[in-house]
Structure 1
């Protein structure tokens, strides 16, 4: 009876998963593939009909999904991130909003012949960018810290601002622009602000206080946060239409900046949920698009997109950055990135329906025009922002490096060898003697507790994408592995075995539980590696060629050179672990520990030669 609904929902989820995976493999924003699949499944083939599938629940589902995404975005906004760039963000969401609104409205009026009312409404909708498109793009482009923070803050804050502006313009249109109704629109604006800040701030503070005092069991943290977000959004909209986005954004920002409130698990859950919702939303909204109306807009719609991309955004960014410390290169990149996303599509569809019922037939053109701008900005910026960032030299280096916990002789030897092979490393230790020795060897250092608030604020992790926990403390290693699990991902965290004993199995279980894979072969404990180094063993790098394979390396250097890392031609290092399935090929390098004349425990063997060893 419900076969179509079941198949359609399952297909949306599977397609979204597939698009995300393809985007990860190709290092392109997933939105490109999600939009393409939605268009093919919907207007092209007619397989997916969102209005039939969801019925009256379509727009409530879209609204709740956007609310969850904005709340998750608010959780990631930290006030310490914007020191020195506050004015730029303020200008972008105030002066920049006005500039984008007016330029877009005039362009739509002159190029497409829309009435001034519809033109100004569409201009208000187009001021939004949003985390649904900004955050995935930032993962791919990886701009420098200031630009990334500005774009993320703007994208999250501009959504409720754009939605509120669109509501005010809509109220102005349906009221007939009478003086009394203009005053009523200003009252609506005031109510949205009051409800958003009071309701969102109050619930955010109460939730933070409950988490801080452990009034909510840990297993209910995620469910409680999700339920409160949905409840705040619904109540806020019931009190005043379209105020819910502001409420959940304020709630997320306040909760994310409260002291002594641990939200890592909530943030992890919400990030996963956001990926799911973004995937579904783009497919569903793209499937609703009317291709005939889209094509019927003609080249004038392309001209509107060009005005937004090449006039409105550069002017907005350059004016907003006046008086800031941003370099010209950073300002140019800021002028290029401003993709439109889900909120623009959802709001345009919602107000198009309302205005068409109110006697404005041209309002139906807002939806295909909005998709024209969304597809244009996402496609152009996704494909070009990365190369432009590298050309302007404002892109962070590839996150191929390692943060190394500990800075003793073993950690310094590994860091120095990786660094010589082009792998970015930074060692962290609370021992000044160890840090001083690392500095003398030219290794980047951090002096302090790697899991402290100071480290969170001052430890520069640019170019770093993995963790090597090499300290003598099992507890510190496990804590660091758990602390940086969200930062680097569980698959990029490795912890060393500190001793070979009856407790080894328990130590390995702890490491895996906290996201760290046991490092190196099982027999290579930290004690054994330190013993070998103290006895004169050296780190050696050996290149692999067509004539000298990894298998030949292992055969020829058995018991003499222990492989620790494999480095591919792209300068990405892979630790050799007990369960490693690496298959290095020609062009790779192997970092191994050369025993030299140091015998293995209980073994007295001669040194065997190896070809082309690089010290």
Structure 2
């Protein structure tokens, strides 16, 4: 049973998703966990070898998966996102890539011992990073907007060009050695341009069909997925490795057509990409052999890897970003983060075969050299990005920020209470006047519609992992929650209780988790604050438990949220009672009558001195 192809295919998928979950649960770099899982079941325990089991379909599966992943990444490359630092991305993707190509080739020749011809080819390939490794790192690190966007765009844009640069270098090597004619070299440029035209044309045509209703809603995602595979295969048939350029061009064109259904497509593609990235990493690492891993330990390879990480990458970034407005901290971080991933692994195998068959004896070590660079960069950058970004002051926040939509008297005091625990808080509303109380209390505010495209591209929402919809419109609150569920997760989406109609009439799957008890809707809470209700903080102990807290007060006390000893904040939601440990601080909205009684009680305990 364990040797069947069906079982091994299922095992690859299960291991990939399990690795993603372990990485999320223990806050580890996902690509590191996936790589280790593949090594354990593959070369270490020798449980199965996907490359042997899947046979001839192994490479096509990897290629199609990479095409989908690259398209999904390019589908998020909206030019409105890079307003203000477009020049930085252009310089890094062109001049920076060229410098990295030349320096990487020299390092491969003088340090790794490759011939100049082979080094010229592999140096072009190693300029790639790619969405399969960059995007998981960015999700983990929570960088500030500018460095995160630059790294994302570089990874996606340079990925297909890295393969094309290596292919161009291969054509030049064959031309110099009289293996091909100058006409073949010209055909390379023609095929590359044709691939870009095919991808861009297909993207534009598909976008028009989607926008004008020629494709029904239930077929949109399947049609787009099928089109991506078709464009990739057709372009790759014209010339090997140009398919990556085609699907990237296709995604960028569709991203900048501002389609009404683009968000639905993105969510669908993101889900598929997570599955594919997980599975592909397991397949590639599980297919390695112990001999290949031992080859990585060669001192010349290790010296080459160190040069790529500590010399080639930093120099290429620092030289290419002169005068573009980036800070030294940003240039340092970008100059360090450059993990290689699936594209480098898959494409290097192709070049190794072609160069070996052409008579270049050192072509057979390209796979081991690529593996050494991939593993070293994945481990080093995966474990260091959070630490380095924090040291350089480029992490958006270490704390999970909270965004409150709806300005009012209650949300102002709620935001102030949250901020007192050193949590980033943002209050947003469509009305400047509605944010008056929040501004008075020193809370960060933004005027705008959370659902508008202007907000999406001009307000940095990266630091905020929790959303509270607290406007006076129940339907608008539910719509806000539904919009952000795919990005933040339902467990991090909250809204104030429904105040019109029977709450049971509303589907539980629509909207966010309901905060507080049902009777405390936003109108009631605002009235309480206007009547003088105040924020009260109560720390629970072994002798003063949550039960004591709830029974201690004859007047209204509304628990809002709690903060445990590790400074983790959780809201009172869905009417569910959860076990609250001693040391936790309960934050509640308390009647002014209770405050007055406490004050009188303290005054009564004060001894008044008497005259003799």
Which secondary structure does the structure 1 equivalent of 2:34 belong to? Answer: helix
Quick check: 1:240 aligned with 2:242?
A: no
- Indicate how the Cα distance of structure 1 residues 324 and 610 shifts in structure 2: closer, same or farther if over 3 A, else same: farther
Match of 1:296 in 2: 295
Deviations 1:153-186 (A, max 9, x none): 0000111101111222223344553396245224
Which secondary structure does the structure 1 equivalent of 2:450 belong to? Answer: coil
How far the C-alpha of 1:595 sits from its partner, in A, is 2.5
Mapped contact 1:472–1:498 kept (Cα < 8 A): no
State how far apart, in whole Å, the 2-side matches of 1:154 and 1:481 are: 32
Quick check: 1:171 aligned with 2:171?
A: yes
Which secondary structure does the structure 2 equivalent of 1:113 belong to? Answer: coil
How far the C-alpha of 1:289 sits from its partner, in A, is 2.0
Mapped contact 1:556–1:610 kept (Cα < 8 A): no
Q: Greater shift after overlay, 553-562 or 517-526? A: 553-562
State how far apart, in whole Å, the 2-side matches of 1:609 and 1:542 are: 19
Match of 1:535 in 2: 531
State how far apart, in whole Å, the 2-side matches of 1:335 and 1:180 are: 37
How far the C-alpha of 1:213 sits from its partner, in A, is 1.6
Which secondary structure does the structure 2 equivalent of 1:98 belong to? Answer: helix
State how far apart, in whole Å, the 2-side matches of 1:150 and 1:37 are: 30
Q: Greater shift after overlay, 113-122 or 311-320? A: 113-122
Mapped contact 1:474–1:498 kept (Cα < 8 A): yes
Match of 2:159 in 1: 159
Match of 2:330 in 1: 330
State how far apart, in whole Å, the 2-side matches of 1:128 and 1:101 are: 10
Match of 1:603 in 2: none
Which secondary structure does the structure 1 equivalent of 2:4 belong to? Answer: helix
Match of 1:420 in 2: 420
Match of 2:89 in 1: 89
Pairwise mapping of residues 115-264 of structure 1 onto structure 2 (< 5 A)? 115-175=115-175, 177-178=177-178, 181-196=181-196, 198-264=197-263
Which secondary structure does the structure 2 equivalent of 1:423 belong to? Answer: coil
Match of 2:36 in 1: 36
Match of 1:114 in 2: 114
How far the C-alpha of 1:610 sits from its partner, in A, is 11
Mapped contact 1:423–1:572 kept (Cα < 8 A): no
State how far apart, in whole Å, the 2-side matches of 1:165 and 1:563 are: 61
Mapped contact 1:500–1:523 kept (Cα < 8 A): no
Mapped contact 2:564–2:584 kept (Cα < 8 A): yes
Superposed CA RMSD in Å reads 2.4
Match of 1:593 in 2: 589
Quick check: 1:556 aligned with 2:555?
A: no
Match of 1:517 in 2: 513
Mapped contact 1:294–1:369 kept (Cα < 8 A): no
Deviations 1:173-207 (A, max 9, x none): 445533962452243123212322x1111111122
- Indicate how the Cα distance of structure 1 residues 7 and 247 shifts in structure 2: closer, same or farther if over 3 A, else same: same
Deviations 1:427-459 (A, max 9, x none): 222233222332122122122222122222222
State how far apart, in whole Å, the 2-side matches of 1:477 and 1:372 are: 50
State how far apart, in whole Å, the 2-side matches of 1:610 and 1:308 are: 71
Match of 1:526 in 2: 522
Mapped contact 1:405–1:450 kept (Cα < 8 A): yes
Deviations 1:491-538 (A, max 9, x none): 21111123164x31124x2xx434511222233223332343333322
Q: Greater shift after overlay, 305-314 or 108-117? A: 108-117
Mapped contact 1:163–1:347 kept (Cα < 8 A): yes
State how far apart, in whole Å, the 2-side matches of 1:496 and 1:42 are: 50
Mapped contact 1:84–1:325 kept (Cα < 8 A): no
How far the C-alpha of 1:373 sits from its partner, in A, is 0.4
State how far apart, in whole Å, the 2-side matches of 1:28 and 1:368 are: 26
Q: Greater shift after overlay, 472-481 or 431-440? A: 431-440
Mapped contact 1:400–1:423 kept (Cα < 8 A): yes
Which secondary structure does the structure 1 equivalent of 2:526 belong to? Answer: helix
Q: Greater shift after overlay, 221-230 or 148-157? A: 221-230
Match of 1:315 in 2: 315
Deviations 1:243-281 (A, max 9, x none): 110111111111112134321121111111111111111
State how far apart, in whole Å, the 2-side matches of 1:57 and 1:284 are: 12
Gaps of 5+ in 1: 600-605
Pairwise mapping of residues 460-539 of structure 1 onto structure 2 (< 5 A)? 460-499=460-499, 501=501, 503-507=502-506, 509=507, 512-539=508-535
State how far apart, in whole Å, the 2-side matches of 1:445 and 1:112 are: 54
How far the C-alpha of 1:596 sits from its partner, in A, is 4.0
Match of 1:104 in 2: 104
Mapped contact 2:38–2:285 kept (Cα < 8 A): yes
- Indicate how the Cα distance of structure 1 residues 481 and 135 shifts in structure 2: closer, same or farther if over 3 A, else same: same
Which secondary structure does the structure 2 equivalent of 1:52 belong to? Answer: helix
- Indicate how the Cα distance of structure 1 residues 256 and 209 shifts in structure 2: closer, same or farther if over 3 A, else same: same
Match of 2:606 in 1: none
State how far apart, in whole Å, the 2-side matches of 1:273 and 1:559 are: 52
How far the C-alpha of 1:3 sits from its partner, in A, is 5.6
Which secondary structure does the structure 2 equivalent of 1:446 belong to? Answer: strand
State how far apart, in whole Å, the 1-side matches of 2:601 and 2:444 are: 31
State how far apart, in whole Å, the 1-side matches of 2:120 and 2:94 are: 17
Q: Could you state the TM-score of these two structures normalised by the residue count of structure 1? A: 0.92
State how far apart, in whole Å, the 1-side matches of 2:554 and 2:578 are: 18
Match of 1:602 in 2: none
- Indicate how the Cα distance of structure 1 residues 290 and 523 shifts in structure 2: closer, same or farther if over 3 A, else same: same
State how far apart, in whole Å, the 1-side matches of 2:165 and 2:484 are: 39
State how far apart, in whole Å, the 1-side matches of 2:577 and 2:139 are: 27
Deviations 1:335-355 (A, max 9, x none): 110000000000111222233
Quick check: 1:276 aligned with 2:260?
A: no
Where in structure 1 do 4 or more consecutive aligned residues deviate above 6 Å? 606-611
Which secondary structure does the structure 2 equivalent of 1:428 belong to? Answer: strand
Pairwise mapping of residues 387-406 of structure 1 onto structure 2 (< 5 A)? 387-398=387-398, 400-406=400-406
How far the C-alpha of 1:376 sits from its partner, in A, is 0.4
Count of residues in correspondence between the two structures: 600
Q: Greater shift after overlay, 568-577 or 72-81? A: 568-577
Q: Could you state the TM-score of these two structures normalised by the residue count of structure 2? A: 0.93
Deviations 1:333-390 (A, max 9, x none): 1111000000000011122223333333422211111010000011111111211111
Mapped contact 2:129–2:340 kept (Cα < 8 A): yes
Mapped contact 2:71–2:250 kept (Cα < 8 A): yes
Which secondary structure does the structure 2 equivalent of 1:542 belong to? Answer: strand
How far the C-alpha of 1:571 sits from its partner, in A, is 3.6
Which secondary structure does the structure 2 equivalent of 1:468 belong to? Answer: strand
Mapped contact 1:129–1:341 kept (Cα < 8 A): yes
Which secondary structure does the structure 2 equivalent of 1:513 belong to? Answer: coil
Match of 1:436 in 2: 436
